[in-house]
């Protein structure tokens, strides 16, 4: 999956599911700044795993603190898929 596609899907999830303001979603924004606590971050990564059919270990999700980090992580995982 290409980075722009991952970024767009992440933006859609943040806005539609987690009710984040579209103007707030940029690569530098932290998930906490967007109002996602640890529980909603788990839900976000569960949805991303399902949407992109990728395995993202929990220890890697903890290190992804910004929108840009999440995009890079999911892009990396989808690129390494067979």
- The CATH number given to whatever domain includes residue 24 is 1.10.1200.10
Question: Which pLDDT tens digit goes with each residue over 30-57?
Answer: 999 999 999 999 999 999 999 999 999 9
Q: Examine the pLDDT at 20 and tell me if it is beyond 80.
A: yes
Beta carbons of 67 and 58 less than 8 angstroms apart: no
Q: What domain range is 22 assigned to?
A: 3-79
Asked whether 52 and 38 are in contact (CB, 8 A), the reply is no
Q: Is the pLDDT at 1 greater than 90, yes or no?
A: no
Stretch 7-30: mean pLDDT: 95
Instruction: Report percent pLDDT > 90 for the chain.
Output: 95
81: which 2 tokens?
A: 């898929």
Report d(CA 10, CA 74) in Å as an integer: 10
pTM of the predicted structure, to 2 decimals:
0.93
Residues 52, 77 contacting (CB under 8 angstroms): yes
| Rounded Cα–Cα distance for residues 11 and 67 (Å) | 9
Please count the structural domains in the chain: 1
């Amino acid at each position: 999956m290409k980075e722009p596609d991952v970024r767009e899907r992440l933006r859609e999830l943040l806005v539609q599911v987690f009710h984040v303001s579209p103007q707030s979603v940029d690569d530098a924004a932290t998930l906490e700044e967007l109002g996602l606590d640890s529980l909603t971050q788990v839900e976000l990564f569960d949805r991303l795993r399902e949407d992109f059919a990728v395995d993202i270990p929990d220890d890697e999700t903890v290190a992804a603190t910004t929108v840009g980090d999440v995009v890079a992580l999911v892009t990396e995982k989808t690129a390494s898929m067979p």
